Amino acid sequence: MGISYRRVFLIIFVLVGIGFSSVFSFSYIKNTQKTKEMSNSLKSGSANNIAVVQTAESKTLPKVETSNVHSPDGKMELVMDKTLEESVNSYSLYTCEVQCVNKSQILTISLPKDQSIDLPLNSWSPNNKYVFVRKTGGAAIAYWVFNADGQAFANGNNFIDVVPAFDAKQTGNNLGEVTGWDSNTLLHVFSNLTDGTRGPSYWFEVPSQAVIRLASR
């Protein structure tokens, strides 16, 4: 009988040991799986975060600068949106009433970085029918006149390029500067003599492109 009790006790001891070992192994395996899942989750989250940052950087919008000039009566305005891009600057010019509900597009153009468009303070003709802008940089200065409603001129051109139109009249002088409007259709032009000094003044008539010399400078 003593031998039988010892055998029973030994069997029970072995069974209990096996049970503890199974529980420990199962717990270890489960914890290992959780650790791997957490590690994979962290790696995945880190990769996703990087992807989000890269996407946000790649969608950075170019900077846009806006300037405007009001007409003499304050009812209209000429607006220019300048978009700063990597190799060029893009310009969008339009006219509208002060509330800017209805826009009339007059120019969309991209220029190299060394060239730019600006809006003179007296861009508007007194009757709000025309506007002119100045382009600087490149080979020479330019002055462009537009119909304020965005329509083309009778010759089909969208704007009048004042400098070549003035040169075509062969006055013997070079256009120096367009200073503004003397009437609804007359731009005041200062000329330069061939030696670079100030020459006589002229009127440049829009839209006929006639050049009229003034008696005084």
pLDDT tens digits, one per residue of 27-67: 544 555 555 554 554 444 443 443 444 455 445 788 999 99
Per-residue pLDDT at 86: 87
How many other β-carbons are positioned within 10 Å of the β-carbon of residue 76? 19
Contacts of 76 (CB under 8 A, 6+ apart): 70, 95, 96, 97, 98, 124, 128, 148
Per-residue pLDDT at 44: 46
Cα(56)–Cα(202) distance, integer angstroms: 55
pLDDT beyond 80 at 135: yes
How many other β-carbons are positioned within 10 Å of the β-carbon of residue 94? 19
CA-to-CA separations, 184 to 50, 71, 89, 116, 126, in angstroms, rounded? 60, 12, 32, 27, 5
Q: Are 106 and 150 in contact (CB under 8 A)?
A: yes
pLDDT beyond 90 at 96: yes
45 or 159: which carries more pLDDT confidence?
A: 159
Range with lowest mean pLDDT among 49-53, 159-163, 193-197: 49-53
Mean pLDDT of the chain: 82
Using DSSP, state whether 124 is helix, strand or coil: strand
- DSSP string for 121-187: TT-B-TTSSEEEEEEESTTS-EEEEEETT----TTS-SSEEHHHHHHTT--SSEEEEEEEESSSSEE
**67 bridge partner residues:** 80
13 or 142: which carries more pLDDT confidence?
A: 142
Range with lowest mean pLDDT among 9-13, 65-69, 165-169: 9-13
